[in-house]
C-alpha cells in the first residue's frame, strides 16, 4: 500500500522522468535504471559511476544528483515501479502530492508549471492495432494525444487505461514527455447499451 503522502520520488531515485500518465517504461528499462542506480550510489563504485550518468534538466532529478540513496531505497523504488498495480497507486499518490505542493507554494515550478485545461475532444485520437509494430503506446492500446509547444508532436499522451483509472474523477493531469509543462484533461464517462465504458469529452 502506497502512503497518501509521498515522501520519496521513486522516479528520481532511478533517474526516470515522471509524466503523470501511464509510465512508458518497460520492465527491462526499469531494471536497467535500477542496476544503474545501484552502481551510481554504491559506496565503493559511486565516484566512478557518477561520471557516466547523464545529468538531466528535471528539478527533481537534479536534486537527486546531490543526494546519496541507500540500497533499500533503490530496491523499494524498483519493486514499486516494476509492479503495474503498485506503480498505478504510487503514480496517483505522487500526482496528488505534487499538486498539493504546487498549491501550497503558489504553483511555482513545483508541479504543473504552465498547466493547461482542455477537453478530451480537443485531443487527437489514434487507434492501435494488436499487431502494431514498435509504436510507443502499443502496450496500452488506443490513445489520445496533443502536441506541446516544446516541439513534441505527441508530448501529451493519455491512454484508455489512464482514463479508466480516473473515470471516477472525470479528469486527469498529465505531463509532457519532453518538457516540464502539464495539462489537465476533462472527460465524461458514458455507458453504452452493452455496458461498455466510453470516454467522451466534456461539453
Q: Could you tell me the CATH number of the domain that includes residue 153?
A: 3.10.660
Range of the domain at 150: 115-129+141-186
38: domain CATH number is 1.10.287.110
172 domain-assigned? yes
Count of helices and strands (H, E) across the chain? 7, 7
197 domain-assigned? no
Residues 6, 101 within the same domain:
yes
Angstrom distances, CA of residue 197 to CA of 144, 160, 167, 168, 189: 16, 10, 9, 12, 7
Sheet holding 156-159, edge to edge: 124-126, 143-146, 156-159
62 domain-assigned? no
Residues 125, 88 within the same domain:
no
Q: What are phi and psi of 177, to 5 degrees?
A: -75, -10
Residues 31, 72 within the same domain:
yes
60 domain-assigned? no
- The per-residue pLDDT string of the chain (203 residues; one tens digit each, 9 = 90 and over) reads 444 345 688 988 998 877 665 556 788 889 999 999 999 887 665 444 444 444 433 444 444 445 688 999 999 999 998 988 888 788 877 777 766 665 554 444 444 445 678 898 989 998 876 554 444 544 456 889 999 888 888 888 888 888 888 888 888 888 888 887 888 888 886 655 444 445 555 54
Count of the separate structural domains present in the chain: 2
The neighbour count for residue 88, using CB atoms within 10 Å, is: 16
Angstrom distances, CA of residue 10 to CA of 35, 73, 81, 161, 192: 14, 8, 8, 22, 39
Residues 76, 125 within the same domain:
no
Q: What is the pTM of this model?
A: 0.47
121 domain-assigned? yes
Calpha distance 95→112 (Å, rounded): 10
- Report the Cα 159 to chain-centroid distance in Å: 12
59 domain-assigned? no
52 domain-assigned? no
Residues 149, 169 within the same domain:
yes
Question: Which residue from 166, 162, 123, 181 is spatially nearest to 24, judged by alpha carbons?
Answer: 162
126: left (phi over 0), alpha (psi -120 to 50) or beta: beta
Tell me if residue 185 falls in helix, strand or coil.
strand
Res 78: pLDDT: 94
Amino acid at each position: 500500500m502506497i502512503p497518501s503522502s509521498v515522501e520519496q520520488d521513486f522516479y528520481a531515485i532511478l533517474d526516470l522522468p515522471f509524466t503523470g500518465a501511464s509510465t512508458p517504461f518497460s520492465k527491462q528499462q526499469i531494471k536497467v535504471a535500477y542496476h544503474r542506480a545501484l552502481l551510481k550510489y554504491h559506496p565503493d563504485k559511486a565516484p566512478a559511476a557518477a561520471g557516466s550518468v547523464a545529468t538531466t534538466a528535471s528539478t527533481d532529478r537534479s536534486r537527486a544528483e546531490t543526494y546519496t540513496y541507500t540500497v533499500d531505497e533503490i530496491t523499494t523504488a524498483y519493486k514499486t515501479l516494476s509492479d503495474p498495480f503498485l506503480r498505478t497507486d504510487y503514480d496517483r499518490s505522487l500526482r496528488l502530492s505534487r499538486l498539493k505542493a504546487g498549491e501550497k507554494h503558489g504553483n511555482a515550478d513545483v508541479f504543473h508549471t504552465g498547466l493547461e485545461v482542455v477537453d478530451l475532444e480537443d485531443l487527437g485520437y489514434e487507434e492501435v492495432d494488436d499487431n502494431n509494430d514498435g509504436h510507443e503506446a502499443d502496450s496500452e492500446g488506443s490513445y489520445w494525444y496533443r502536441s506541446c509547444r516544446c516541439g513534441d508532436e505527441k508530448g501529451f499522451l493519455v491512454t484508455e487505461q489512464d482514463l479508466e483509472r480516473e473515470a471516477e474523477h472525470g479528469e486527469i493531469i498529465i505531463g509532457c514527455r519532453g518538457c516540464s509543462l502539464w495539462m489537465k484533461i476533462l472527460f465524461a464517462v458514458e455507458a453504452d447499451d452493452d455496458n461498455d465504458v466510453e470516454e467522451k469529452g466534456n461539453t
